[in-house]
Structure 1
Amino acid sequence: MPDLSSGGRFGAALREILADTTAFSRHQEANMRPETVEALGAKIVDSGVKYIYYMLPTLGSRTVAKVVPAELYKRMLKKGIAFHRTALTDLQTSREGELIGGGVDAHEFWGLPDPETFQVLPWDTEVGRIFCTAYDPPHLDEGGGRLIPLDTRALFKAAHRGFTERTGLELRSGLEPEMTWVGPGIEVVSKEDQSPAYQVENLEKMRPVYKKVISYGQALDFTMIQGDYEDDGQIELNWDYDRAELTAERMTTYRQICKQVARELGLQASFMAKPYNGKMGNGCHHNLSLWRVTGDGEDENVIEDGRVELHATETARHAIGGMLLHTPGSMLVMGSTVNSYKRYWDAGQFAPSGADWGLDTRGVAIRISANGRMEYRLPDASVNPYLSHLYLLAAIEHGLEAQLDPGDPGEPSAVLDGVVVPNTLGSAIEAFEADEYLMGAIPEELTRIFLQLKRDEWARYCGQISQWEFDQYWEAIP
């Protein structure tokens, strides 16, 4: 049985990765190889790009960037961009006036570009983008040159590599990002208590939206596969599954696509988890599978064994056991905002609220909707996809390593006895801190700062006086 307090093999491996002070220099050396410089230069010239965003995702799932003239790509490959460290924590100031993540005296981080991520933005082909990886500057006396654990994109990539080395498996995923659009011309009228879902008339109203979103996605190498209308102003457009880090990266890009389309069409587009009572919230189901890569093009999905009837294999059951056991501890990531938990309180809107699993039923946390795929239904559309995949990967490895048994659908095992899913951000904070395994598996700096951000958000919410309170109490006495 792994040492829960240290996060097992998962936590030990990440600590080793984050202790490497040569990470920056090795990345820089790889960037400056003549063939790398030449290849990126050729792509830039051929594309006609004149400006490039050098960008990183933040802890709160925003994206920060600097724009640089394209001809300076050689300089950027070597030196990268520099930001104040608190850019990775959304430049959020606490209620007490402290800049969370290090304060005003925090040193800069250096972000080296990952040249293989260069792409042209299809809505303005003079602009391109490149993702970067954040490091502590090499000149620091202690710890310089190390990967910064607040760079969730880089951290998940590193964690996934280690997972594959230890297990021989890779995590693949496909997301279902729901979102809400509002604006002139797309209003919906439907009968009382009747859902507008799936109606072609409502898809027709959204035709300008989905045409642009799909075409921009295709131009950015998404394999767009399907989409539907789900509730008032809510659409879901899906792309094909892939390695989990690529899926997370595409989710970051998808949000930018949608915001751009909204600007072009004079609409508003939101990934807010629960915009309205009585309507479905915006979920982001994670469809997960584990693959053994053979190298000969015949990769094997190890949670599929060829049986026709709907089922979960032993490997899938162990993974499910890990994910369900750590659902309370990871809910602060899966439902990362105060608003996230309104999804679970609104009865009858297809949002799960328990640590359970089942076969093709939408009321559970993990649904086996097709053989070879585990649909984790708790995350919402505001989730940081790198962080959600990181926590799911840690939980899956625990399940595989300890061979955890989730029990049968509707009949949880003793391992899951007493597991309760938080239903407010405040209770999610408590469950997050109480999960010894996850607290040991995920880097201390990340958990500490994430907790500080979420405690501050919860305190701000608890201190707000709402219209509901006025309606309930203003004239209540005598």
Structure 2
Amino acid sequence: MFSNSSQVINFVKEKNIRFIDVRFSDLYGTMQHMTIPTNMLEDTLENGMMFDGSSIKGFTEVHESDMKLIPDPTAAFVDPFRKEPTLVLYSSIVDPFTNEPFSRDPRGVCQKAEAYLKSTGIADTCFLAPEPEFYLFDSIQYRADPHDTFVKIISDEASWTAGDYEEGHNLGDKIPFQQGYAPVSPMDKNADIRDAIVRALQETGFEIERAHHEVGSAGQQEINYTYSTLLHAADNLTVFKYIVKNKAIELGKTVTFMPKPLCGQAGSGMHCHVSLWKDGDPLFYGESGYGGLSDMARWFIGGVLRHAAAILPFTNPSINSYRRLVPGFEAPVNLVYSARNRSACLRIPITGTSPKAKRIEYRVPDPSANPYLAFPAILMAGLDGVRNRIEPADPIDKDLYELPPEEYRDIEKLPPSLDLALKALEEDNEFLTEGDVFTTDLLETWISQKRADEVQQLFIHPHPFEFEMYYNC
């Protein structure tokens, strides 16, 4: 939107903006914010803004709590939901005494990854386009008390509501189980909701490519938008989620980006389309290569496949992520690549003969990921493949789930749990620390807190399904 601070200041004056919302990401991808009146804008752009890092999850302890936000003029948008005209400015975080980047600032990891990419001489730009899926529900209730644990999801278009008789009527036209891909109204009851979300996204600067109902019959949606550079692709995803969630709330609905909110229904993934460029030229196209790939693209794939287990705690960071990563659905658990096969974790989209359109599609990530960590992790794995010319195993164009058991058994799979993925990261992380992109401090913090706050907590909490299985033992 802007290229420098002067443009931000002029825009604020011209548009009569009243407030500036200074935003930043915590370690896990949840956006935080502080609001200032516009008379504080110039000083904040020039000198930054102090905040308490000890109050932010995954940041600092009380004795080292002072941190500083540095707004980025190139990452701004007008908030469509605030009553007063408000400009949002995204920020990175530095130590207030040294002005050195804070090692646990996720956005700073993206910035360091882009700088490292240029320093290698391999490429100067990484373009990335995520495809985050989400569920749109009419209502959600849940509780996790020791004596009262439940979840209740209400979706007017789900097949399980066909027998309901509420308020004296049921209008039918429910979407059959797992048949939600692209039906028209009246089965698709959310077309107007999607249109409203798309309009809000467009007004915020997104270039939308398409929007449609996804496979999950209880309200799964997908809205695709155009690619951007690594850092701004991560910025854009956080803005996308903010707009989708708030617009849904405004219209009386609720949205979740959980990878697997419903047992048996399609999970929500976030396929990531990636390509490298240098001096304005694409580097992934090779006329005679498999799927139209260059040697560099093939080596990039080799690196991603080699390190897929290690980057999984960033691309699929939640316990719930592994409810989606199970064989039998389109969820990609098999560490192979293919030009067409959607059961492979890495696919080469059919893009014709245009070198500029050639890219790879990494199908493993899901939208619970912090993009400021997930996107650099994918890039660093691929760059390791290019630097070391890692050759992937031969591509497989058959349905992997239809292979004979002895043949399928030999295909390497992703770890089936967050705990095992964290172990893989512990054992394989040197490629991430190249160029100090991921620091040892960040990696150790991520692993220890994920284990303590999620793995161990879920381990000690009985699940309601256990009562169905074991209550009468």
Displacement of 1:118 in angstroms is: 2.9
- TM superposition score normalised by structure 1: 0.82
Distance (whole Å) between structure 2 residues aligned to residue 41 and residue 267 of structure 1:
36
1:73-129 CA deviation, whole Å, 9 max, x = no partner? 012113322222245xx52xxxxxxxx544333322100111232321233461110
Aligned match of 2:157: 187
Distance (whole Å) between structure 2 residues aligned to residue 106 and residue 458 of structure 1:
28
**Aligned pairs for 1:238-387 within 5 A:** 238-293=224-279, 299-306=280-287, 310-345=291-326, 347-371=327-351, 372-387=358-373
Say if 2:16 is the partner of 1:48.
yes
Aligned match of 1:425: 418
Aligned match of 2:133: 178
Distance (whole Å) between structure 2 residues aligned to residue 60 and residue 117 of structure 1:
20
Aligned match of 2:400: none
| Distance change >3 Å, CA 239–CA 268, structure 1 → 2 | same
Distance (whole Å) between structure 2 residues aligned to residue 475 and residue 374 of structure 1:
50
Of residues 188, 205, 210 in structure 1, which corresponds to 2:194?
210
Distance (whole Å) between structure 1 residues aligned to residue 449 and residue 340 of structure 2:
36
Say if 2:118 is the partner of 1:152.
no
Secondary structure of the residue aligned to 1:134 is strand
| Distance change >3 Å, CA 151–CA 117, structure 1 → 2 | same
Displacement of 1:469 in angstroms is: 1.7
Of residues 77, 100, 103 in structure 2, which corresponds to 1:119?
77
Code of the residue aligned with 1:403 in structure 2: it is R
Aligned match of 1:223: 207
Aligned match of 2:470: 473
Whether the 8 Å CA contact 2:301–2:392 is kept in 1: the answer is yes
Aligned match of 2:182: 198
Distance (whole Å) between structure 1 residues aligned to residue 317 and residue 290 of structure 2:
36
Unaligned runs of 5+ residues in structure 1 are: 1-30, 92-99, 139-143, 294-298, 412-416
Aligned match of 1:12: none
Q: Number of residue pairs matched?
A: 418
Distance (whole Å) between structure 1 residues aligned to residue 93 and residue 316 of structure 2:
25
Say if 2:28 is the partner of 1:60.
yes
| Distance change >3 Å, CA 420–CA 348, structure 1 → 2 | closer
Q: CA RMSD in A?
A: 2.4
| Distance change >3 Å, CA 355–CA 158, structure 1 → 2 | same
Deviant stretches of 4+, over 6 Å = none
Distance (whole Å) between structure 2 residues aligned to residue 208 and residue 431 of structure 1:
44
Aligned match of 1:8: none
Give the helix-richer structure, 1 or 2: 1
Whether the 8 Å CA contact 1:279–1:349 is kept in 2: the answer is no
Distance (whole Å) between structure 2 residues aligned to residue 132 and residue 202 of structure 1:
43
Say if 2:48 is the partner of 1:80.
yes
Of residues 145, 148, 163 in structure 1, which corresponds to 2:117?
163
**Aligned pairs for 1:440-455 within 5 A:** 440-441=433-434, 442-455=438-451
Aligned match of 2:457: 460
| Distance change >3 Å, CA 418–CA 214, structure 1 → 2 | closer
Displacement of 1:218 in angstroms is: 1.4
Code of the residue aligned with 2:201 in structure 1: it is G
Displacement of 1:464 in angstroms is: 0.5
Whether the 8 Å CA contact 1:311–1:359 is kept in 2: the answer is no
Aligned match of 1:135: 94
- TM superposition score normalised by structure 2: 0.83
Distance (whole Å) between structure 1 residues aligned to residue 465 and residue 305 of structure 2:
34
Identity of aligned residues (%): 24
Code of the residue aligned with 1:434 in structure 2: it is E
Displacement of 1:436 in angstroms is: 4.0
1:223-265 CA deviation, whole Å, 9 max, x = no partner? 1111111122111001011212221111010011012112211
Displacement of 1:151 in angstroms is: 1.4
Secondary structure of the residue aligned to 1:149 is coil
Whether the 8 Å CA contact 1:354–1:420 is kept in 2: the answer is yes
Distance (whole Å) between structure 1 residues aligned to residue 61 and residue 468 of structure 2:
40
| Distance change >3 Å, CA 200–CA 327, structure 1 → 2 | same
Whether the 8 Å CA contact 1:322–1:399 is kept in 2: the answer is yes
Distance (whole Å) between structure 2 residues aligned to residue 464 and residue 212 of structure 1:
39
Displacement of 1:300 in angstroms is: 2.0
| Distance change >3 Å, CA 164–CA 419, structure 1 → 2 | farther
Displacement of 1:283 in angstroms is: 0.4
Distance (whole Å) between structure 1 residues aligned to residue 134 and residue 259 of structure 2:
8
Of residues 216, 223, 228 in structure 2, which corresponds to 1:237?
223
Displacement of 1:395 in angstroms is: 0.8
Structure 1 window deviating more from structure 2 (302-311 vs 197-206): it is 302-311
Distance (whole Å) between structure 2 residues aligned to residue 187 and residue 305 of structure 1:
45
Displacement of 1:418 in angstroms is: 8.4
